[in-house]
């Protein structure tokens, strides 16, 4: 047995120097030097939030004639994409614009940010990434922030419970000029602002020492020690979370703190701030962020606290004056709760102080697939997940969220494909933009990704050694009978009909793959291509072509050329244009001393593959699989196709066999739609 030094494994991952850096302490004069070197340590919560998002960088792109900004922050670089947010670049652009406006003091800093959307649409995930980013940002030099401690009468150090900015210790008359000077420094990114004043606890000590030293502020700050802080939800420093309970048990002290009755005997009064616990969620979230889960379930009295916290940046602890806070307030809610808010006239003030951002379900297929790929990659699950399993699940999920197109010529599946960036005859990017614009609630209804994830999980724990699309589709359909969020039978029937549509799409996909696997003989395709090109060249130049078997010159083989061109729907009246297009392309390559390769022309490649498949399918006799009568020669050919499915498309032996048997059954019933 190898001797492992477990202690050294632990020690090598420890960083005492980092610990000392994060627990720095110093005098007020030391802190002024820190501020002069980097005035950004004085930033408020919104400025800090905007900077930490932007620090990760952006990617700008255009899709369907709309410009987008992708914020890499929401890819969750902190935990390798564990909480990555996919397909929501448009809502996230609104979110970051809210932070930017607040950071520059344009008004949104006085609003509650309300994330609104259906269950499972990533509202909580977005806030979780913001919290995580805030914690890690505060550990780094760029995100460093500081607070202070007071020396009490006994010489012990007591921490400021709301972790306030040390410059609040500067008298207001001197503070304004100080901040103005700091804001003019080249390294300062914002106009620095410190509104409000010290919390009641610090105010008591400040006044105590001012009285003791007859107003000598320089003496007062000798009883202050500056310390660096790291924001942490677990340690309740700078990040708070409030989840409402039932109305009878809601208590406002959970938000603004409560009297510490054990200390009343020591300090003699309920109104002594030293006998008060400033540990409500608003108090501890100062300098950072507070999250309100299902915010609209709050009792009305709580919502009034929320109004003051957002508009005036102040809270009212019991028996104390208004207390200043500096924090980002984010709430999230679902559709039914928001409808109740809209119909409640008493809540008009709350609506007026809220910026609502819709966080809908994803309506782009590729982004929905990424959600499931994150959790069900082959590296993360013990079983083989057959190709297209996640794609088919995602397709059904997206279809349930789309509104029926007003254009009668367009099916729901075609709309999904257009949204996914695929091209359809007769539709331009401008048409797709119009399709999105005409919808009212697209993405705010439908099936949640959580439901899909639950059913994939059920399939993974079945007795089979692998999971294929039909296993999960059956789970999805069975689960609809008892789905708690489906309100009526018509909706359930619609979802089942969409499952049937998705199964048809899957049929087309696997037929196409089997076709390509059968015709994946590159040498045969190259020969077929060379023969086609020889005939096209002769046809366009009005020449004859030499027959390789008889060595005689003959007319171009029109039957061969049309049998290939028809596979990609080239009509007879367009064949001349298509053939000239091919020859012009080959000629342009020749000018650049390049050799033509059929793989560089997708349409021609597809036509050649389909033609070769048509020529070969009868010799392989795939339908004999259904009859369970396979001779040795045919079995050998089928095994070659199966191996191609494994090598080229990601199947394993069992799932490749399933697909071949399934496609064989389609051929057996004569349902062979060309793709």
Name which of 151, 122, 127 is nearest 226 in CA terms. Answer: 151
Helix 449-460, helix 469-480: angle, nearest 10:
120
Whats the size of the chain, residue-wise? 675
Q: What CA–CA distance (Å, rounded) separates 605 from 529?
A: 9
Q: What is the pLDDT of residue 277?
A: 94
pLDDT at 1 over 50: no
Residue in 237, 243, 239, 208 with CA at minimum distance from that of residue 223: 208
* Cα angle value 560/564/567 (rounded, 5°): 145
Among 147-151, 290-294, 494-498, 580-584, which is the least confidently predicted range?
Answer: 580-584
**Residue 12 falls within a domain, yes or no?**
no
Q: What is the pLDDT of residues 265-295, one digit of tens each?
A: 888 888 899 999 999 999 999 999 999 998 8
Tokens encoding 481: 């009978």
The answer to whether residue 445 sits within a structural domain is yes
Helix axes 558-565, 602-620, angle to 10 degrees: 100
101 within 8 A of 93, measured Cβ to Cβ: no
Q: Mean pLDDT throughout 50-77?
A: 93
Determine the pLDDT at residue 247.
61
Buried b (16+ CB within 10 A) or exposed e, 254-293: bbbbbbbeeebeeeeeeebbbbbebbbbbbbbbbbbbbbb
pLDDT digits (tens, 9 = 90+) for 240-265: 999 877 666 667 788 999 999 889 98
**Mean pLDDT along residues 12-23:** 86
pTM value? 0.85
Q: Of the segments 237-246, 294-303, 375-384, which one has the largest average pLDDT value?
A: 237-246
Residue 481 has pLDDT above 80, yes or no: yes
Q: Write down the pLDDT at residue 192.
A: 93
- With respect to residue 47, please indicate whether it lies within any of the assigned structural domains: no
Q: What is the dihedral of CA 45, 47, 52, 58, to 10 degrees?
A: 150
pLDDT value at residue 527: 85
Measured between alpha carbons, how far is 569 from 571 in angstroms, rounded to an integer?
Answer: 6
CB neighbourhood size of 551 (10 A): 7
pLDDT at res. 94: 97
Scanning the structure block, which residue is given the tokens 């679902």?
334
CA separation for the pair 124, 333 (Å, rounded): 10
* Distance, CA of 499 to CA of 477 (rounded, Å): 8
**205 closest CA partner among 232, 186, 224, 191:** 224
Find the angle CA(301)-CA(302)-CA(307) to the nearest 5 degrees: 100
For residue 12, give both structure tokens: 């090598």
Note whether residue 93 is domain-resident.
no
- pLDDT score of 621: 57
Q: 86 Cβ partners below 8 Å, 6+ apart?
A: 362, 367, 368, 370, 371
Residue 433 within any structural domain of the chain: yes
Rounded CA-CA distance 510/659 in Å is 7
In a domain, 601, yes or no: no
The pLDDT, as a whole number, for residue 335 is 82
Q: Using N-to-C axis directions, what is the helix angle for 429-437 and 412-419, rounded to 10°?
A: 110
The per-residue pLDDT for 252 is 77
Query: What residues form DSSP beta bridges with 114?
Result: 331, 356
Evaluate whether 145 touches 239 at the Cβ level (below 8 Å): no
Reading across the β-sheet that carries 289-293, which strands appear in turn? Answer: 239-242, 289-293, 328-333, 112-116, 354-358
Q: Residue 266: its pLDDT value, please?
A: 87
Contact status, residue 198 vs residue 168, Cβ threshold 8 Å: yes
Would you give the end-to-end CA distance of the chain in angstroms?
59
Mean pLDDT of the chain: 88
Average pLDDT over residues 376-403: 91
DSSP string of 2-25?
Answer: ----HHHHHHTT--HHHHHHHT-E
Q: Which residue has better confidence, 607 or 93?
A: 93
Q: CA–CA separation, 494 vs 487, rounded Å? A: 12
- Residues 319-354 as b or e (16 or more Cβ within 10 Å = b): ebeebbbbbbbbbbbbeeebeebeeeeebeebeebb
Q: How many whole angstroms from its chain centre is CA 230? A: 26
Nearest to 525 by CA among 567, 489, 483: 567
H/E segment holding residue 292: strand 289-293
Q: How confident is the model at residue 355 (pLDDT cuts 50, 70, 90)?
A: very high
Domains in the chain, number:
1
Token pair belonging to 88: 């929501």
Q: Is 56 strand, coil or helix? A: coil
* Residue 88 in domain: no
Q: Is residue 451 part of a domain?
A: yes
Measured at the CA of 179, the angle between CA 176 and CA 184, to 5 degrees, comes to: 130
- Identify the domain containing residue 408 by its residue range: 365-504
pLDDT of residue 635 exceeding 80: no
């Amino acid at each position: 047995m190898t001797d492992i030094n477990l202690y050294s494994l632990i020690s090598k991952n420890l960083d005492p120097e980092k610990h000392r850096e994060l627990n720095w302490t110093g005098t007020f004069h030391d802190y002024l030097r820190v501020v002069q070197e980097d005035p950004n340590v004085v930033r408020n919560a919104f400025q800090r939030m905007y900077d930490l998002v932007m620090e990760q960088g952006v990617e700008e792109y255009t899709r369907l004639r709309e410009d987008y900004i992708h914020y890499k922050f929401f890819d969750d670089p902190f935990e390798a994409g564990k909480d990555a947010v996919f397909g929501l670049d448009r809502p996230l652009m609104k979110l970051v614009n809210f932070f930017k406006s607040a950071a520059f003091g344009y008004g949104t800093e006085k609003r509650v940010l309300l994330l609104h959307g259906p269950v499972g649409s990533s509202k909580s995930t977005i806030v979780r990434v913001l919290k995580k980013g805030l914690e890690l940002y505060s550990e780094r030099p760029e995100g460093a922030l500081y607070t202070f401690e007071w020396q009490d009468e006994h010489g012990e150090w007591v921490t400021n419970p709301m972790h306030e900015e040390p410059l609040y210790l500067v008298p207001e008359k001197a503070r304004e000029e100080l901040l103005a000077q700091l804001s003019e420094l080249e390294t300062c990114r914002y106009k620095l602002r410190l509104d409000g004043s010290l919390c009641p606890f610090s105010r008591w000590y400040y006044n105590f020492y001012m009285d003791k030293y007859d107003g000598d502020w320089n003496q007062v700050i000798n009883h202050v020690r500056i310390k660096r802080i790291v924001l942490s939800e677990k340690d309740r420093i700078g990040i708070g979370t409030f989840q409402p309970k039932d109305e009878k048990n809601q208590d406002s002290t959970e938000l603004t703190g409560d009297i510490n009755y054990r200390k009343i005997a020591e300090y003699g009064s309920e109104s002594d701030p030293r006998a008060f616990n400033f540990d409500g969620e608003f108090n501890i979230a100062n300098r950072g962020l507070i999250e309100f889960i299902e915010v609209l379930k709050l009792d009305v009295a709580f919502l009034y606290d929320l109004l003051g916290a957002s508009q005036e940046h102040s809270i009212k602890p019991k028996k104390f004056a208004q207390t200043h806070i500096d924090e980002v307030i984010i709430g999230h809610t679902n559709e039914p709760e928001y409808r109740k808010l809209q119909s409640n006239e008493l809540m008009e003030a709350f609506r007026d102080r809220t910026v609502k951002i819709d966080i809908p379900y994803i309506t782009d297929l590729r982004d929905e697939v990424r959600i499931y790929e994150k959790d069900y990659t082959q590296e993360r699950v013990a079983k083989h997940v057959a190709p297209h399993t996640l794609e088919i699940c995602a397709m059904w999920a997206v279809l349930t969220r789309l509104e029926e197109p007003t254009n009668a010529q367009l099916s729901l599946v075609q709309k999904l494909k257009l949204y996914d960036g695929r091209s359809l005859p007769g539709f331009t990017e401008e048409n797709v933009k119009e399709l999105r614009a005409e919808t009212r609630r697209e993405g705010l209804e439908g099936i949640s990704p959580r439901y899909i994830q639950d059913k994939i999980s059920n399939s993974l724990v079945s007795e089979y050694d692998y999971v294929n699309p039909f296993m999960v589709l059956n789970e999805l359909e069975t689960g609809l009978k008892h789905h708690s969020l489906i309100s009526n039978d018509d909706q359930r029937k619609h979802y089942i009909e969409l499952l049937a549509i998705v199964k048809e799409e899957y049929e087309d996909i696997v037929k196409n793959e089997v076709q390509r696997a059968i015709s994946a003989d590159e040498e045969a395709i190259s020969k077929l291509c060379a023969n086609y090109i020889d005939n096209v060249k002769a046809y366009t130049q009005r020449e004859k072509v030499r027959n390789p078997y008889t060595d005689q010159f003959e007319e171009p083989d029109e039957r061969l050329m049309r049998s290939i061109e028809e596979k990609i729907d080239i009509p007879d009246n367009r064949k001349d244009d298509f053939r000239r297009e091919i020859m012009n392309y080959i000629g342009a390559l020749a000018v650049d001393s390049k050799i033509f390769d059929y793989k560089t022309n997708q349409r021609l490649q597809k036509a050649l593959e389909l033609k070769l498949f048509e020529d070969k399918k009868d010799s392989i006799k795939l339908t004999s699989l259904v009859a369970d009568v396979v001779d040795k020669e045919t079995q050998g050919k089928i095994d070659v196709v199966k191996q191609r499915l494994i090598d080229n498309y990601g199947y394993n032996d069992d799932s490749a066999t399933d697909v071949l048997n399934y496609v064989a059954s389609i051929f057996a019933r004569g349902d062979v739609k060309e793709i």
